[in-house]
Amino acid sequence: GGARTSSRFACALPNRIRAIAPVAGLRHDAPCDVTGIPVLTFHGTADGTNFYGGCNEGDTACSRNGAWVEGVEAAVNDWRVANGCSAQARVDALSDKVERRTFEGCSTGADVVFYHVVGGTHVWPLVSNTTELVRDFFLAQPPR
């Protein structure tokens, strides 16, 4: 639950969280009216733990008793909107299965970067250099 928890912490403790990098578990559950939190996230389309498309609200088996309803695309979009980023992502195809979508021009200065992994499951790493990407992302964040 680390990815989901980091997302929740960002919503609940925005003055203490500088950035988040959830792997296979980004969320943006209401109420989350936080802005200015940079996001780097990775998610596979075949994740059998945190389903890419989310779950129907009443399907407690799928949603882990209601804890995972929102799909990944919706969560990415919610963070993009919260950070005031452009609706159009810069898309970089890194392989036939990995696409990096970068939402820039954010009015808060906090970009949202999403690694979409076709066929990726609930594993670390989702891309070969996940650890380095997360490390570099955090090191690039300015102090608060």
Angstrom distance (rounded) from CA 2 to CA 112: 19
What percent of the chain lies above the pLDDT cut of 70?
A: 96
Which of residues 66 and 30 earns the better pLDDT score? 30
**Per-residue pLDDT at 56:** 82
List phi, psi (to 5°) of 132: -65, -40
- Confidence tier at 57 by pLDDT (50, 70, 90): confident
The whole model's pTM is what?
0.93
pLDDT at residue 125, as a whole number: 87
pLDDT tier for residue 67 given thresholds of 50, 70 and 90:
low
- Which residues does 12 contact at the CB level (< 8 Å), separation at least 6? none
Structure tokens at 141: 């964040």
Other Cβ atoms less than 10 A from the Cβ of 144: the count is 10
